[in-house]
Amino acid sequence: MGKPTGFMDYKRELPPDRQPLERIKDWNEFHDHFSDEQQQLQGARCMDCGIPFCHSGVLINNAASGCPINNLIPEWNDLIYRGRWREAWERLRKTNNFAEFTGRVCPAPCEGACTVGINEPQVTIKNNEVYIVDKAWAEGWITPQPPHQRTGKKVAVIGSGPSGLACADQLNKAGHTVTVYERADRTGGLLMYGIPNMKLDKSVVQRRVDLMAAEGVAFVTSTEVGKDISAGTLKAENDAIVLCGGATKPRDLPIEGRELQGVYFAMDFLKANTRSLLDSGLADGQAISAQGKDVLVIGGGDTGTDCVGTSIRHGCRTVNQIEILPRPRDSRAPSNPWPQWPFVLKTDYGQEEAIALYGSDPRTYLTTAKKFVGDEKGQLKEVHTIEVDWQKDPQGRMIPVEVPGTEKIWPAQLVLLAMGFLGPEDTVLAELGVARDARSNAKAEHGTFTTNVKGVFAAGDMRRGQSLVVWAINEGRAAARECDRFLMGDTLLP
Which of the four CATH numbers 3.50.50.60, 3.30.2130.10, 3.40.190.10, 3.10.20.310 does domain 154-248+422-488 have? 3.50.50.60
In angstroms, rounded to a whole number, what is the distance separating the alpha carbons of residues 465 and 377? 38
Q: What is the CATH number of domain 6-139?
A: 1.10.1060.10
Give the DSSP H/E element, type plus range, for residue 125. helix 125-139
pLDDT tens readout for residues 89-111: 999 999 999 999 999 999 999 99
Q: What is the pLDDT of residues 235-294, one digit of tens each?
A: 999 999 999 999 999 999 999 999 999 999 999 999 999 999 999 999 999 999 999 999
- Residue 4: pLDDT band (50, 70, 90) is confident
Q: Quote the pTM value.
A: 0.96
Percent of the chain with pLDDT over 70: 100
Which residues have CB under 8 Å from 277's CB, separation 6+? 27, 197, 287
Exposure b/e, 150-171, CB count within 10 A at least 16 = b: ebebbbbbbbbbbbbbbbbbbb
Q: Residue 346 CB: number of other CB atoms within 10 A?
A: 11
Mean pLDDT in residue range 430-446? 95
Enumerate the CATH 3.50.50.60 domain ranges in the chain, comma separated: 154-248+422-488, 252-419
Q: What is the pLDDT of residue 347?
A: 96
Among candidates 288, 287, 300, 295, which has minimal Cα distance to 316? 295
What pLDDT, in 10s, does the model give residues 26-45? 999 999 999 999 999 999 99
Specify whether the CB–CB gap between 231 and 472 falls below 8 A: no
Reply yes or no on whether the pLDDT at 87 is more than 90: yes
In the chain, ranges of CATH 1.10.1060.10 domains: 6-139
Helix, coil or strand: residue 60: strand
Instruction: Tell me the pLDDT tens digit for each residue of 309-340.
Output: 999 999 999 999 999 999 999 999 999 999 99
- Name every residue whose Cβ is closer than 8 Å to that of residue 361 and which is 6 or more positions away in sequence: 347, 351, 354, 355
pLDDT in tens, 44-58: 999 878 889 999 999
Domain formed by 252-419, architecture = 3-Layer(bba) Sandwich (3.50)
User: Which pLDDT does position 321 carry in this prediction?
Assistant: 98
